Amino acid sequence: MDIRPIDSTRDAEAARVITEALLHDPGWLAVGPARTGHRRVVALRYHRAALRVMRRHGGPIYGAVTPDDGAVTGVAATFAAGLYPPPAHTFLAYVPGFLLAGPGPILRGLRTSRVQDRGHPPDEHVFLWFLAVDAPHQRSGVGRALLARVFEDAAAPVYLDTANPANVPYYASFGFEEMGRASLPRGATMWFMRRP
């Protein structure tokens, strides 16, 4: 598996990997539409917009690329140290997806966004926004290899948030420490974690 920064020509592929990996994640279940198909459409649009924002104001975006067919099988999307948050106007990139989601997900999404923003540490940090691996390659070391590349290039502590309780011990095994947690809609919890 080749772990490397990927360019914008791979963003559609990367957005698909992120969407499918997180489609049933507690965070998306807390925020997104109830029906899986509707949630998939909204999540895919959201992840495409997020990658565009990261290309312009953040990065790098790493991909796990298979040597045989060159497919992207995993993604680690980051804001390098000092680049988060992006400018306030980038919120407009998400408006089409929000409108497609409907009023309930819009309100839940805005609430969740506020929770996420408050969780960021005040000091400079690398923000690991997405870590996702497609289903056939999960539990094969792809996520570990992506994290290793993020750590290798990080110029500051790495920060992330997760709404999946199964991820907390996983990230702790890489040296992430819990900084706090907060309630999300529909009874979900978000954990804030940083690796010194």
Tokens, residue 186: 């529909």
In a domain, 195, yes or no: no
Q: Residue 189 domain-assigned?
A: no
**pLDDT of res. 27:** 96
Q: What are the tens digits of pLDDT across the range 62-105?
A: 999 999 999 999 999 999 999 999 999 999 999 898 899 999 99
Task: Report if residue 100 sits inside a domain.
Answer: yes
Is position 129 within any domain? yes
Rounded distance, CA 101 to CA 109, Å? Answer: 10
Q: How many domains does the chain have?
A: 1
Residue 186 is given by DSSP the state G
Q: Residue 71: its pLDDT value, please?
A: 95
- The pLDDT of residue 29 is 97
Q: Write down the pLDDT at residue 157.
A: 98
* Placement of tokens 């010194």 in the chain: 196
What are the beta bridge partners of residue 131? 76
Domain enclosing residue 70, as ranges:
2-156
Entry pTM = 0.96
Predicted confidence at residue 98, as pLDDT, reads 85
Q: Are 125 and 160 in contact (CB under 8 A)?
A: no
pLDDT of residue 20: 98
**Is residue 32 helix, strand or coil?**
coil
Q: Is residue 174 part of a domain?
A: no
CATH number of the domain residue 98 falls in: 3.40.630.30
Interior angle at CA 186, CA 160 and CA 121, nearest 5: 25
Task: Give pLDDT < 70 ranges for the chain.
Answer: none
Alpha carbon distance 57, 39 (integer Å): 26
The answer to whether residue 45 sits within a structural domain is: yes
Domain assignment present for 161: no
Whether 127 is in a domain gets the answer yes
